Amino acid sequence: MATKAAFKRLTREYQNIQKNPPPFIVAHPSETNILEWHYILTGPPGTPYENGQYWGTLMFPPEYPFAPPAIRMHTPSGRFQPSTRLCLSISDFHPKSFNPAWEVSTILIGLLSFMTSEEMTTGSVSASEAERRVFAARSRWWNSTGGGSHVSATPGVTRTAKGINNVKAGDGGLKFRTEWPELDEENWTWLKEHRIDTSTGQILPDSNAPTRCSPETSALRRRPNGSAPGIGAVMEGGHVAREAGQGWARRNRLWIGLGILFWFILKY
């Protein structure tokens, strides 16, 4: 339970962040617990996270602002391990370095800045730019379906809005929908418009669709495949398709050429 000082401080900060939201950031406290905040970072232009929708939580201690929050990002990003506490100077890993003058907006601006850098810490992972763009393209799908479990629930996973500190794929998107109902509705409209298979996050085939598509939908045709620690990497389908599509004649052109030359010599 929050102290009176923490409650007063977080209430004021919520009013401030509503009036003047930082660029690419929205946040609000849970209706049932003012110490539990939910944020959405939108990937800035010119970064591998462009247009990505990254959902996470800040869990403040009762003695805030004299102690920092635990910071987690639930949406797979290729930058952080999903639902893992992040070791940052603004997080509960370093309580002595936390400045009580820092606010929620300060913390989230710092998180976004760290996300777009390449500095490593506890909870961060390595991934290529292509991999991160795939995760960005799939972020809305992941948030609103719980990683594809909206239609078919994962065995052994109870659909509940509790346990927000450790959000994993498999809840059918319930936790995200509970905190972000309007964004969830927008996401489902987006999934429908882009013909996204809700169980896989891949684009459904359409024989009438033009062959060219936007970079965002192109990224959706790729599939994370497990090279980045804890979250997976991108399977670059174009390279595989090129090799599979090479004809027999092209692969054996050297032997064909030698055969033609040998036949010419024997004939003449």
Question: What is the per-residue pLDDT for 242?
Answer: 35
Element (H, E) at 106: helix 104-115
Whether the full predicted model's pTM is greater than 0.85, yes or no, is no
Where are the domains positioned within the chain? 1-235
Decide: helix, strand or coil at residue 80: strand
Provide the b/e sequence for 16-46 (b: ≥16 CB within 10 Å). ebeeeeeebbbbebeeeebbbbbbbbbbeee
Each of the 268 residues of the chain gets a pLDDT tens digit; together they read: 899 999 999 999 999 999 999 999 999 999 999 999 999 999 999 999 999 999 999 999 999 999 999 999 999 999 999 999 999 999 999 999 999 999 999 999 999 999 999 999 999 999 999 999 999 999 999 999 999 888 654 444 444 444 445 566 678 899 999 999 999 999 999 999 999 999 999 998 865 655 555 555 556 656 555 544 443 333 333 333 333 334 445 555 666 666 666 655 555 5
DSSP 47: S
Longest dimension (CA), the chain: 102
Q: Of residues 67, 70, 87, 213, which has the active-site annotation?
A: 87
Pairwise CA distance, residues 29 & 58, whole Å = 9
Answer for the pair 111, 71: CB distance below 8 angstroms, yes or no. yes
CA proximity to 238, closest of 213, 219, 258:
219
Question: What is the per-residue pLDDT for 244?
Answer: 33
87 has catalytic annotation:
yes
Superfamily the domain 1-235 falls into: Ubiquitin Conjugating Enzyme (3.10.110.10)
